[in-house]
Structure 1
Amino acid sequence: MNWRERKNNSYTVAVMITVIMALSACAERTRPAPVVNLETNSSSRQAQTPIQDKTYKVKKGETLYSIAFRAGTDVRTLAQYNNLKPPYQIYPNQTLHLIAQASINNGSTNASKSIVKTVQKNSKKTVANDKAEEYGEVKGGKFTAVKVPSLKQKVNRWIWPVKGPVISNFSSAEKGNQGIDIAGKKGQPVKAAADGLIVYSGSALRGYGNLIIIKHNDDYLSAYAHNDELLVKEQETVKAGSVIARMGNTGTDRTMLHFEIRFRGKSVNPMRYLPK
C-alpha cells in the first residue's frame, strides 16, 4: 500500500469516527431524562402561614375554626382564651388572644392560671355537652345565630377522600407537611373522609387555596385543600363518602388534594387512620 492509499484510509476512518460521535451525541440529546419521583414540598404551593403571634386580627371570611386551624390549637381553647361562647361570634378586624390572658379586672396571675386549668380540663373531654352548639352567620350586615346539633359520635372508620397516588407524606418536622398530598385529575370528586359538619368552606387561609374543614366530633377535624370548586357550605352536615368538592390546583402549581386530620387542633398522620 503506497502513501496515497494509506492517507485515504486514514481520512476515511477519521470521517467514520466523526459521524459515529455525532450520531451518539444526537442519541444522547433525544434520550428521555431519567424519571425522579420528587415529593411535593412548600415551594410547589403558596407558603402556608401558621399563626404564631400572641394576638391575631380577624380577616374577612375567617371563622373561629379556620383561625384555630392555622394556630394549631383546639377551637374550644381559642374560645376560652377570648371568653367566647356559642355562637362564637367574631368580626373582621377583631383582635383575638392566642394565649391565656390574665383577668382584665385585676390582672392577677391566679386568674390566668384558672383560665389555663379550665382550658386543659375542657380539652380532655371527648364527649360534647348535650346542648346544641351555635354557629354565626352574617346576613345583610346583621349577625344571625344558627343552631346545629353537637357532635358526639365516634369516628368508627375513615375513608380515602380521593383515589390517587400519595406524592408527599406527613412530616412531624417544624415546617414539615402537616398532612398528605394526593395526586389526581382536575375536577375529580373529593369526598368527606367521615361523617361530620362543615365548619369552614372558603379561601381565606393563605397556602391552602379553596379549603374545606369538617368537624367530626369534639376531638377530630379533617381538612381538604387546593380544590377547584367547593360544593358545600358552612353548617351543612355530610356523610362519609359525600362529594364535597372538585379537585384542583388553587394555591399550588399542580392538581392535587392536600388532606389533613387534626386531633384537638394538632396535626396527626392521616396514614394511621386511612384504610390500607
Structure 2
Amino acid sequence: MSSVAYQASRNRSLIWVMLAALTLAACGGSGGRAVVVDRSYENQTQTAAVTGGYVVRRGDTVYGVAQKHAVSTRALIDWNKLHPPYLLVPGQTLRLPQRRTYTVQRGDSVYAISRQFKVDMTTLVRLNNIPQPYTIHVGQSLQLPANAAPEEQVASRPPATSEPRPAEPARQATASSTTASPISKPAAPTRVVTVPRPPARAGNGFVWPVEGRVISSFGSKTGGRHNDGMNIAAPRGAPVRAAENGVVAYAGKEIRGFGNLLLIKHDGGLITAYAHADSLLVNRGDVVTRGQVIAKVGKSGDVDSPQLHFEVRRGTKAVNPSQFLPS
C-alpha cells in the first residue's frame, strides 16, 4: 500500500480523528418505467438488532452508521473487514463493536489507561468528555473505545502506586500468592519525569520540520477519510527538526499506526506531532528549541516508505499545518 493511500484510508488518531461522511446518491428510474425498490431488507432489522448487528438501509454510510451507534468508524471497519471505498449495500448486515467500560484505579492516568488498552489517548478523552488537564478520579467509570484491546490481550498490572513502575517481565500469580518467596533485592525507585512549562516561542510561525516533498496534505480524502496533518517524503535518516520552541510531552511508539512518535507542547496551547520516525533523539520532559534535530526520518508504523507525518493541534483539535509554515 502506498503511503498516500495509507493516509487516505486509515483513521488517523494520536491519536486524533475527524472523518467526512460518504454520500451515496440513490438510483433513479428512466424511460418512464416504474422504479422497483427492494425493501425486503427492512424485515431483517429487528433480527439484526437482537443479535447485536445492524442491517444497512438505503443511503447508509460507514461514517453514518458509526455515528448513529456511537462507535468509532475505524472499529466498525475492522470488525466487519470492510475495504476501501467502504461502500455499503442495502440488506448487508454489519456487526456492531461492543463497548466496554473501565473503572479508574489508584495511580491511573488517562495516558496510562490508553497504553493499557492500546487505544489513542485523544479518542479516550473525547469519548468520556474529559476536560483539560484530563484529571480522572478513583472509582470513575470510563467508556473504552470499541477497538480497545480485549481483556486477554491486556497485561495484568501490579497494584497501582503513587509513582509509575518500570516494565517487568510477566510473572505467574495465583490466589495464594501472598505466601510467595520474598524478593531478595528491592527494585530501585523510578524517577518520575515531569513535563516543565513550555518556553516562549521564538517566532510567529513554525519552521518546516523536514526537507522533502508533501505527499499527502491536510484535509478530506477520497473514500470519506481525513488526514489530520500532512505527510512529507524524505530520505531515511534525514533530520527531523522541532517546528518551534517547546517541551516534549510524549516520546514513544505505543500509539497504533504512528510508529516512533513525538508530541511537543508549545507556548500558547499548540501541540505538534512527528510520526513514523526511524529513531527519536529526545525524551519526555526535554526542552527543545526551534530547529533542533529531534528525530530521524523513517517508516515505522503503518507506512511503506520513509516519511514524516506532521500534525499541529490546538488542544485536541487538529488544524492545518500549512497556516503555520512558510510557503
Give the TM-score normalised by the residue count of structure 1.
0.57
Query: Deviation at 1:170?
Result: 0.3
Closer, same or farther: CA 70–257 of 1 in aligned 2, 3 Å: farther
Q: 1:237 aligns with which of 263, 268, 287?
A: 287
From the superposition, tell whether residues 72 and 178 of structure 1 become closer, same or farther in structure 2 (CA, over 3 Å): farther
Tell me if 1:217 matches 2:289. no
Partner of 2:322, secondary structure, is helix
How far has the Cα of 1:55 moved from its partner?
Answer: 5.7
Q: Which structure 1 residue ranges, 5 or more long, are not aligned?
A: 1-37, 85-93, 100-135
Report what 2:311 is aligned to. 260
Aligned AA (2:122): A
Structure 1 residue 70, shift from structure 2 partner: 7.3
Q: Which residue of 2 aligns with 1:17?
A: none
Candidates 193, 203, 207, aligned match of 2:253: 203
Q: Which residue of 1 aligns with 2:84?
A: none
2:122 alignment partner in structure 1: 68
> How much has 1:79 moved relative to structure 2?
3.8
Cα separation, 2, equivalents of 1:61 and 1:187: 31
Separation of aligned partners in 2, 1:179 and 1:43: 10
Match of 1:59 among 106, 115, 121: 115
Match of 2:239 among 181, 184, 189: 189
Deviation at 1:59, TM superposition (A): 2.0
Residue 157 (structure 1) aligns with: 205
Q: 1:96 to 1:149 in 2, by over 3 A?
A: farther
Q: CA RMSD in A?
A: 3.9
- 1:167 corresponds in structure 2 to 215
Matches within 5 A, 1:110-121: none
Give the residue type in structure 2 aligned to 1:151.
Answer: P
**Alpha carbons of 1:160 and 1:54: their partners in 2 closer, same or farther (altered >3 Å)?**
farther
CA distance in 2, matches of 1:137, 1:257: 31
Alpha-carbon deviation of 1:95?
Answer: 7.9
1:12 equivalent in structure 2:
none
Alpha-carbon displacement from aligned partner over 1:216-260 (angstroms, at most 9, x marks no partner): 125100000000011111000000111010000011111110000
Alignment of 1:92-131 (within 5 A): 97=142
Task: Name the amino acid aligned to 2:197.
Answer: S
- How far 1:47 moved relative to its partner? 5.6
Amino acid at match of 2:291: G
Q: 1:39 to 1:61 in 2, by over 3 A?
A: closer
1:150 is displaced (CA, Å) by: 2.1
What is the aligned counterpart of 1:247 among 297, 300, 308? 297
The one-letter amino acid paired with 2:218 is F
Distance 1:185 1:161 in 2: 14
Q: Secondary structure at the match of 1:271?
A: helix
In the alignment, the residues of structure 2 paired with residue 54 and residue 266 of structure 1 have an alpha-carbon distance, to the nearest angstrom, of 25
Higher strand share: 1
Contact 1:189 1:245 in 2 (8 A): yes
Identity score, percent: 32
| Contact 2:11–2:226 (8 Å) recurs in 1 | no
- 1:77, distance to aligned residue in structure 2 (A): 1.7
Residue 197 of structure 1, CA deviation: 0.4
Q: Contact 1:72–1:267 (CA<8 Å) still a contact in 2? A: no
SS of the residue corresponding to residue 40 of structure 1 reads helix
Query: Structure 2 counterpart of 1:189, which letter?
Result: P
CA distance in structure 1 between the partners assigned to 2:226 and 2:137 by the alignment: 32
Residue 78 (structure 1) shift? 4.8
Evaluate the alpha carbon distance shift between residue 149 and residue 182 of structure 1 in structure 2; reply closer, same or farther with a 3 A threshold.
same
Q: TM-score scaled to structure 2, two decimals?
A: 0.49
- The separation in 1 between residues aligned to 2:118 and 2:288, in whole angstroms, is 21
Tell me, yes or no, if the aligned pair for 1:201 and 1:213 is still in contact at 8 Å. yes
SS at match of 1:58: helix
Residue among 73, 82, 87 paired with 2:136? 82
When the two structures are aligned, how many residues end up with a matched partner? Answer: 191
Q: Which entry has the higher C-alpha Rg, 1 or 2?
A: 1
